[in-house]
Structure 1
Amino acid sequence: MTAGPTDSPAGPAGPADGAGTLAGRGGTEARPGRAGRLGGVDGPWVAALSLANLGVWVGWFGPLQLLLARQAELLAPDAKASALALVTGVGAAVSMVSNPVFGALSDRTTAAAGRRIPWVVGGVAAGAAGLLALARAGSIAAVTAGWCLAQLGLNAAFAALTAAVPDRVPPGQRGLVGGWLGVSQVAGILLGTALAASAGGIAAGYAACAAFALLAAVPYVLLRGDTCLAPADRPVFRGRAFLAGFRIDPRRHPDFAWAWLTRFLMNLSYSVSTMYLLYYLTDAVRYEGDADEGVLVLTALNAATVLATVVVGGVLSDRSGRRKAYVIGSGLVISAATLLLAGWQTWTGAIVASLVLGIGYGVYTAVDFALLTDVLPTAADHGRDLGVLNIANALPQVLAPAVAAPVVTHLGGYTALYALAGTLALAGSVLVRRIRGVS
């Protein structure tokens, strides 16, 4: 099943709050390009943004799905599990910190090319350098250092690309754009895995992922469709004030706080429900074939239904002008899928659950992203605020092992594990109703 990595309390923050506000204070508006059918961003810009995001996801998941595990097995055959946990755990910590920091730095960038593009260029270059360093790593320490560099670079690019959506996309198109970004996520996981598996070795796999990440960003950079900040409008940098900005007061911005919490709960549910899938097939389902192939089948089925629903869900939410109903409904579908895994522990049940989970997660991915961009506290800090929200994506991946292991071992096995995942998704769905500034 696919993994999820890694958005004014008074209402949505569209282009009038982003590029328009900056222009009104002396900044430069984004180059609009050809108007799309909905009067917002056009098809080439959405395609270029999605392709650049695809490159970032390939850079992440080629290593995560295959290459890091193979490298840990090669370098530390007697302690491969703990070595892999060390590398991915440190990398996740770097991701949680770097994403909001680079997002905040891009908010303050006054380059002629725009606020975000320099960080996309520098980010994919640093990410590719990290991947190439991994290709030459000869120890677990070197692997950890290379993966941290890759995480730093790719998170810088991802933070800038994500912030471009509230900068440029009007609220009525954000579900559509969020849907295509969801497609790039799923496709990136599959393509990253395919490149890693077919390149002809660990070093070649890293090189293939690095090359794709670099090339995928080129069309977005060449379009130069970015908002600009005039040097006179850039706030004076003060370290203490910069760090204090990452603490967003939930009393002043309750919609943002509830959006963060609901995303955290939904991602924790997803991480808990997918991390032991291989063991679930062998220990609970008693799958008679190759369990690795069984996981691959379930992942493919899940990805198919995600791809079938992610753009459709986003478009429908745009046309209806409603976000919460779709997020709540998709959360209930995700909860139902996890409860199927808890109560119907057969191969047929696993197949049905994977299909249902993909339907719910596809709609959730597109519409929740659009909802998050509608509750950002300030137009001047889109990158920082989306980075803070992205912590709700990374933190569950760190916490999931600590949550899931004692449940499986001591508190009821896989039935209890998937019941817990369903409860977390249900809680996330219900709490979406606390968001007041979005329909």
Structure 2
Amino acid sequence: MLVSAIPPVTPRELPAALAEPVKRVGALWVALISLVNLALWMGYIGPLQVLLPRQIEAASPVGKETVLAWVTGIGAAVAMVANPLAGALSDRTTSRFGRRHPWTLAGALLGALGMAFLAFQGSVWGVVVGWCLVQAGLNALQASLTAGVPDHVPVNQRGAVSGWIGVPQTLGVVIAVVLVTMVATSIQSGYLLIAALIPLFALPFVLTTPDPRLPAEYRPPFDLRGFLRGFWISPRAHPDFAWAWLTRFLMQLGNALALLYLLYFLTDAVHYEQLFPGQRAEDGLLVLILIYTAAVVLTTVAFGAVSDRLGRRKALVTASGVISAVPMVLMAVWQDWPVVMGGAVLMGVGYGIYLSVDNALVTQVLPAATGRAKDLGVINIANSGPQVISPVIAGPIVAGLGGYPVLYLTAGLLSLLGAVFVRRIRTVP
């Protein structure tokens, strides 16, 4: 068990790195952390939506769906370890540059190196290794950025700030797809372009924003067994944290199932290229992403601010789950292009509400300030875990257990379950 050497203190005596923030953050801080988040999500989405599917299709055209599932699943398994581990290590970092910034920069550089490595891979195993490097780097980056909100933002501003930070997550989808389909002329140049942008977008935040140093005397002595046990957060001792984790896991699993085979869905079920001769399925994917992005941007900041004013997060998370389930059911019943476009609107509205409100809700159920990044890393397993599980569920369904209709009905049911279970959280209204 990890024995703390921290002397007993009153909250007023806590160092800035551990104190609960009370001063509202300014527009520049929000803009710069949003810029890094833009780079982060470009790094995630560009490969997932376009580059990896096409790279795998070239390396293994027979059984491409199964191979893509394995590659993304292995990468997500790396993410499940890297995110909480990097978060826990950043919680203990006493660098004069701060607790989080060293991990932000290191994660950005490792993610960029992984992208550059991927650019030159022609085998499935080379793609697996490269994608694992990318996941390790980007998840270290994400762990440090996620902790920035409870580190710096007071509770009554977290909905609005989470909304603004959520906008780049959606814009990153659009920009990444535009870059790798229209600006870059090949898979290789697509990877290299994103590799260059990730550290470039991270540097302004690292170099110009404060990151309070953790005094060495407030770092507990290291004990491997206690360090590893710290990743287990008892549902009995912290039930609201457990319900928040389960809610996010179900919502993200439903979302992962809906998106994993979207490019193949447009090709094989909607028959986009037959409907629109001369166009590629990637063109249809970009249209859907633009529609989805517009819906998210119009809702995420507004509903984050609304949740701050009302102080009621759970009802909005419930609403987001119900709204998100509707387009999944529609896509299960009708594989028509107009229906898919309408589904993109509804999915964007639902996810926009969820994105800002759930992030704010989660920061209010963290067990302790001393382990913010580690605890958020455990929460983020609920983001990456579905990426591991979704291929295991989706692959057999698409291959022979009902196809895309069953896949999207399953995704809708999971979103509804997440909407129900959030009601079990007691300490957040």
> TM-score higher than 0.5 here?
yes
Instruction: Return closer, same or farther for 1:39/1:320 CA change in 2, 3 Å cut-off.
Output: farther
Which aligned pairs between 1:274-423 and structure 2 lie closer than 5 A? 274-278=259-263, 280-281=265-266, 288-289=275-276, 292=281, 293-408=283-398, 411-423=401-413
2: CA distance, partners of 1:21 / 1:114: 23
What is the letter of the counterpart of residue 242 of structure 1? F
* CA offsets 1:348-396 (integer angstroms, 9 cap, x no match): 3222222111111111111011101111111110111111111111111
Deviation of 1:55 (Å): 1.1
What is the letter of the counterpart of residue 235 of structure 2? P
* CA offsets 1:41-92 (integer angstroms, 9 cap, x no match): 1110011111011111122222222223333344445565554444322211
Instruction: Return closer, same or farther for 1:341/1:94 CA change in 2, 3 Å cut-off.
Output: same
Which aligned pairs between 1:11-22 and structure 2 lie closer than 5 A? none
What is the letter of the counterpart of residue 205 of structure 2? Y
1:266 alignment counterpart: 251
1: CA distance, partners of 2:322 / 2:57: 39
1: CA distance, partners of 2:164 / 2:408: 29
> Which stretch of the first structure deviates more once superposed, 417-426 or 311-320?
417-426
* CA offsets 1:93-115 (integer angstroms, 9 cap, x no match): 11111000000000000111211
Deviation of 1:136 (Å): 3.2
What is the letter of the counterpart of residue 264 of structure 1? F
**2:219 is aligned with 1:229:** no
Q: Is the 8 A contact 1:327 1:429 kept in 2?
A: yes
1:3 alignment counterpart: none
2:187 alignment counterpart: 202
Instruction: Return closer, same or farther for 1:187/1:91 CA change in 2, 3 Å cut-off.
Output: same
2:43 alignment counterpart: 59
1:183 equivalent among 160, 164, 167: 167
Percent identity of equivalent pairs: 50
1:220 alignment counterpart: 205
Q: Is the 8 A contact 1:31 1:224 kept in 2?
A: no
**2:13 is aligned with 1:24:** yes
RMSD: 2.6
1: CA distance, partners of 2:64 / 2:11: 51
2: CA distance, partners of 1:121 / 1:22: 30
Q: Is the 8 A contact 1:45 1:225 kept in 2?
A: no
Which aligned pairs between 1:60-139 and structure 2 lie closer than 5 A? 60-77=44-61, 80-139=64-123
Instruction: Return closer, same or farther for 1:284/1:156 CA change in 2, 3 Å cut-off.
Output: closer
Instruction: Return closer, same or farther for 1:199/1:31 CA change in 2, 3 Å cut-off.
Output: farther
Q: Is the 8 A contact 1:113 1:224 kept in 2?
A: no
**2:224 is aligned with 1:239:** yes
Give secondary structure in 1 for the equivalent of 2:221: coil
1:16 alignment counterpart: none
Deviation of 1:132 (Å): 1.7
Deviation of 1:399 (Å): 1.5
Instruction: Return closer, same or farther for 1:383/1:39 CA change in 2, 3 Å cut-off.
Output: closer
Q: Is the 8 A contact 2:79 2:136 kept in 1?
A: yes
1:431 alignment counterpart: 421
Instruction: Return closer, same or farther for 1:418/1:191 CA change in 2, 3 Å cut-off.
Output: same
1:161 alignment counterpart: 145
1:255 alignment counterpart: 240
Deviation of 1:173 (Å): 1.0
Gaps of 5+ in 2: 1-8
2:136 alignment counterpart: 152
Give secondary structure in 2 for the equivalent of 1:55: helix
Instruction: Return closer, same or farther for 1:189/1:248 CA change in 2, 3 Å cut-off.
Output: same
Q: Is the 8 A contact 2:163 2:301 kept in 1?
A: yes
> Which stretch of the first structure deviates more once superposed, 274-283 or 173-182?
274-283
Give secondary structure in 2 for the equivalent of 1:404: helix
2: CA distance, partners of 1:63 / 1:327: 29
Give secondary structure in 1 for the equivalent of 2:383: helix
1: CA distance, partners of 2:67 / 2:254: 25
2: CA distance, partners of 1:143 / 1:21: 51
Deviation of 1:286 (Å): 5.9
Deviation of 1:272 (Å): 1.8
What is the letter of the counterpart of residue 130 of structure 2? G
What is the letter of the counterpart of residue 24 of structure 1? E
What is the letter of the counterpart of residue 156 of structure 1? A
Q: Is the 8 A contact 2:177 2:286 kept in 1?
A: no
1: CA distance, partners of 2:266 / 2:109: 40
Give secondary structure in 2 for the equivalent of 1:235: coil
2:25 equivalent among 9, 22, 41: 41
Q: Is the 8 A contact 2:19 2:369 kept in 1?
A: no
